[in-house]
C-alpha cells in the first residue's frame, strides 16, 4: 500500500509514522507513506494556499489551485483507489471502513484546515470524506494519522500475531473481553479461575460471553445494527 498525505502542516503528522506499528509496517515494506507540503504548491511569492470566502464571513478557505497542482502531479505518476478528504462533516470512521480501506493499493489523504477546502475540490477529486468523530479538531492532520493507523495495522503481515487484529474490539461489533497477565493474584484481586484452567474451548466461551456483557453495559448502541 502507498499513502500520500497532502497537508499544510507535515510536521504535525510525521512523528506517529516514525514510531511503533506504523514504523514497523514501513520497515517491512508493507506500506509507504509520503508527505506533501501543500505550501510547495502555493500561489505567488507568498506561496498562498488559502483565501477569504466568497459571500463573506470569518475564516479562510483552502484554494483549489494548489490542491489541484499537487493531486494532478500524483495522479500523473500512478492511479489512486481513493482520494480521501478528512473533514468533520464526513462519514464517521468505524472498523468496517478501516477494513475496507486496508485492501486498497494507493490512496491520497487530504487534510483540511481553516474553514476547509473549496467545495470544487470535493466535487472534482475526492472519492470519500471521513470524520473521526463528532468533535472539531484544528485540522485534518491528527485525523489522518488516526485513519492511517487504523488501516495500516490491518494490512496482512503488519501485526506480528496474525490473529490479533481479528480479536480487537469492534472487529465483530463487540468490545474486546477483559485481559489479565501475571501475577495471578494482586493485593487480593484474583484473575478469573477459568483463564488459569487450560480448558481452551471453555476459555473462548467465557471470553465471548464477557465481550457480550461488556458491550451491553458500555455500548448498547452496537447491538442496534
Ligand atoms: Cl477529519 N477534521 C477535523 N478538522 N476535525 C475533525 C475531524 C476531521 N474528525 C473529527 N473532527
What interhelical angle do 141-152 and 20-27 show, nearest 10?
60
Helix-, strand-, coil-residue percentages of the chain, each rounded to 5: 40, 20, 40
Q: ∠ CA(188), CA(194), CA(200), 5° rounding?
A: 145
Cα–Cα distance list, 198 to 73, 163, 180 (Å): 58, 20, 14
Whether the model clears a pTM of 0.85, i.e. scores above it, the answer is yes
pLDDT digits 0-9 by tens, 76-91: 999 999 999 999 999 9
Helix (H, G, I), strand (E, B) or coil at 6: strand
2 CA → ligand 1 middle, Å: 22
In the chain, domain spans: 2-152, 169-224
- Regarding predicted confidence, which is higher, 172 or 181? 181
pLDDT confidence of residue 46: 97
Per CATH, domain 169-224 is 1.10.287.4070: no
C-alpha cell at 64: 483549489
Region of 199 (left: φ > 0; alpha: ψ -120 to 50; beta: rest) is beta
Q: Which fold has domain 2-152?
A: Alpha/beta knot (3.40.1280)
pLDDT digits 0-9 by tens, 99-155: 999 999 999 999 998 789 999 999 999 999 999 999 999 999 999 999 999 999 999
Q: Indicate if ligand 1 lies below 6 Å from the C-beta of 133.
A: yes
Other C-beta atoms lying within 10 Å of the C-beta of residue 55: 5
Q: Do domains 2-152 and 169-224 have the same CATH topology?
A: no
Q: Indicate if ligand 1 lies below 6 Å from the C-beta of 146.
A: no
- Index of the ligand 1 atom closest to the CA of residue 113: 4
- Index of the ligand 1 atom closest to the CA of residue 139: 4
Amino acid at each position: 500500500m502507498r499513502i500520500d498525505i497532502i497537508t499544510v502542516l507535515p510536521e504535525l503528522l510525521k512523528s506517529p509514522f516514525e514510531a511503533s506499528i506504523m514504523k514497523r509496517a514501513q520497515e517491512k515494506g508493507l506500506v509507504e507513506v509520503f508527505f506533501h507540503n501543500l505550501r510547495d504548491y502555493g500561489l505567488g511569492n507568498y506561496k498562498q494556499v488559502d483565501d477569504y470566502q466568497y459571500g463573506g464571513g470569518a475564516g479562510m478557505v483552502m484554494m483549489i489551485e494548489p490542491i489541484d497542482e499537487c493531486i494532478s502531479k500524483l495522479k500523473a505518476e500512478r492511479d489512486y483507489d481513493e482520494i480521501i478528504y478528512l473533514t468533520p462533516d464526513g462519514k464517521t470512521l468505524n472498523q468496517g471502513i478501516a477494513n475496507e480501506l486496508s485492501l486498497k493499493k494507493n490512496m491520497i489523504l487530504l487534510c483540511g484546515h481553516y474553514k476547509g477546502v473549496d467545495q470544487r475540490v470535493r466535487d472534482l477529486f475526492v472519492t470519500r470524506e471521513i470524520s473521526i468523530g463528532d468533535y472539531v479538531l484544528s485540522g485534518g492532520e491528527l485525523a489522518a494519522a488516526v485513519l492511517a493507523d487504523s488501516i495500516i495495522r490491518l494490512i496482512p503481515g503488519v501485526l506480528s500475531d496474525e490473529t490479533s487484529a481479528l480479536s480487537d474490539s469492534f472487529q465483530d461489533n463487540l468490545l474486546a473481553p477483559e485481559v489479565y497477565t501475571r501475577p495471578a493474584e494482586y493485593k487480593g484481586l484474583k484473575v478469573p479461575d477459568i483463564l488459569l484452567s487450560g480448558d481452551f474451548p471453555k476459555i473462548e466461551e467465557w471470553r465471548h460471553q464477557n465481550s457480550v456483557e461488556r458491550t451491553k453495559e458500555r455500548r448498547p448502541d452496537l447491538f442496534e445494527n
